[in-house]
A and B are shown apart, each in its own frame.
Chain A
Amino acid sequence: MKRNKNVMLLIIFLFAFAVLMLAPFLGMETISLKTIFLSGGEQVKVDIFWKIRLPRIVTAFLAGAALAISGMAFQAMFRNPLATPFTLGVSSGAAFGAAMYVKIGVFFSILGISGQSIFSFVGAIAAIILVYGITRVKKGFSTTTMLVAGVAINFFFSSLIMFIQYMSDFANSFRIIRWLMGGFEIVGFSPVLTILPFVVIGSGVVFLLTNELNLLTLGEDIALSRGGDVKKIKLALFFATSLMVGGIVSVCGPIGFVGMMAPHICRLLIGPDHRYLTPVSFLFGGAFLVFCDTLARMLIAPAEIPVGVITALLGGPFFLWLLLSGGSERKIF
């Protein structure tokens, strides 16, 4: 059993490694190794490689990895296979911030971080504070209260976004819709540096709490009776993952599917033990999003497809194939 898991871990690692190594060379223009590392290569291609593709691929990997383990953590915490990183309204808060920025129409940036990212991060923080506050008001810090509060906040912000869109002209309305599709149209390494601290800290907390995630899947009563300090664990997971998701969404928009389905795909591959599931989800989520983004760049080049379109189109059937081909042994929840 254990050996199989280590083999699977290795396979996923090699898959992620291969995707990361190949993706920067592929795109509208295929770039060869020679161009990059031997002097005298075309400067344009060298610039595309270092200033556009590489930061974009690193961002996509970090985003996919972070969304996948956030979704995994939420699914364990809420004991609900439908939970996603966006269930608690973080992305709706961020989207509301982004929509406000478009509507206000004063474009700026601070220290290389775009005003839109700053606005959406503020929106995400607002959503986190609201959900936390509502959950605190009711005694006991129950996950059910948190879940219901999150869903309500989600609807609340969605209505506000609809209202802003309704009040906007076509151009602004389209910009908001485009933002909601998510994507990695970035230049330079500043977005990478923006999300890196969120991903490092957030993932760090999740990686440290893998045994605790196993406990939470057993329900709070059993988790307590096994010695889990359930309230502390929930708080740590809530803040670490929510801030991480807020950081990612502010830069990349709410990219759907990865956060919900990548953990399920990984459960089918390696089982529900979070000590294995966490690294696998991290690697798979990251590599999967890089893979989808590479397709998004190539399929209708020179135009691009929003990556959120590809993730679900590709990942959905893959998930169903895994689920249906596995027989009764494959249970995800």
Chain B
Amino acid sequence: MNNSIIEINNLSLSISNKTILDSVSLQIYEGDYLSIIGPNGAGKTSLLKCLMRIYSGSDGAIKFLGTPIEKFSQKNLAKLISYVPQSDGRIFPFTVEEFVMIGRYPHLSPFTSFNAEDKKSVQAALELTKTKQFCDRQLNTLSGGERQIVFIAAALAQGADILLLDEPTTFLDPKHEQEIYKILRKINTQLCKTIISVTHDINSAALQSEKVIILKNGKVNFSGKATEIMSNNILEKAYEKSFTFTNHPITGQTIIAPETPQA
């Protein structure tokens, strides 16, 4: 068993008197590849934002390697976790390389500039994600898929052990989707980084990750091995909808399909 890297104990969060997260408790281990699924409004994004301290949840609820999140400066937190937010279509005026370089900010001491090590990390991130070929292009000239991969490269250059991703493949075509899963697997297996990915794609959650957590109404509804969600009573409980399971005609992998009611 690997070491516990994130420990969440009774994490609650309310915004404007609305409960978003309700006593969430979780253990996440080093090297985990974890998917968080669940209906819209379940608190998935908010959970990621609490981990990144974009939101402040209840005191003392989150610990990294045994140390409460409150003890970290934002810079030290960023050395441990990086975050790829939901794509909001917002375009930044930087080139790919400039943007990825900004990922090295937490390693910058005051009054200094990026050094050789920073440049090395940026090059390594560009190479692993195969974005080096367009490193001089403006971000605003990239396609949605390329842009998303560059965001992952920037988070990777940050050099953190934990990578948070919020719907990394939403709005992407199947080719870019597969490309991103390939990169994430590489990051997980070769670089041994912990990956926590929020997604609506139940099939890839089951297929790509080892562990799955289902959130519903701010509570943990299910937590276990990815293979375990391939059963109707778990998914039906979470989504209030029944699912069918079948096998891919060529690969034989299980495919989860929501049952569509007759018109």
Contact = CB atoms under 8 A, between A and B. Distances in A.
Interface residues of B, number: 35
B105 interface: yes
Interface in B36-92: 49, 52-54, 73-79, 81-83, 85, 90, 92
Q: Classify the secondary structure of B's interface with A.
A: mixed
A331 B49 contact: no
Given A215-B105, A217-B92, A331-B93, 11 more contacts: A1-B95, A218-B92, A221-B54, A221-B85, A222-B83, A224-B52, A225-B83, A226-B78, A228-B74, A229-B74, A331-B140
Contacts of A271: 93
Contacts of B74: 224, 227-230
A221 B49 contact: yes
Interface in A250-278: 267, 271-273, 275
A168 interface: no
Q: Which of A224, A226, A229, A331 has the most CB of B within 10 A?
A: A226
A217 B102 CA distance: 11
Closest 9 CB pairs of A and B: A227-B78, A227-B106, A225-B83, A227-B75, A272-B93, A226-B105, A229-B74, A225-B52, A224-B54
Interface of B: 49, 52-54, 73-79, 81-83, 85, 90, 92-95, 98, 102-103, 105-106, 108, 110-111, 113, 136, 138, 140, 155, 158, 164
A240 to B, nearest CB: 16
Nearest to A231: B74
Contact of B75 (A222, A229, A273): A229
Q: Which of B78, B90, B102, B138 has the most CB of A within 10 A?
A: B102
Q: Which of A214, A332, A333 has the most CB of B within 10 A?
A: A214
Contacts of B79: 227
A169 interface: no
Interface residues of A, number: 27
A225 B82 contact: yes
Interface in A173-219: 208, 211, 214-215, 217-219
Nearest to B155: A225
Given A208-B111, A221-B54, A229 B73 contact: yes
Contact of A226 (B73, B103, B110): B103
Contacts of B164: 225
Nearest to A226: B105
B103 to A, nearest CB: 6
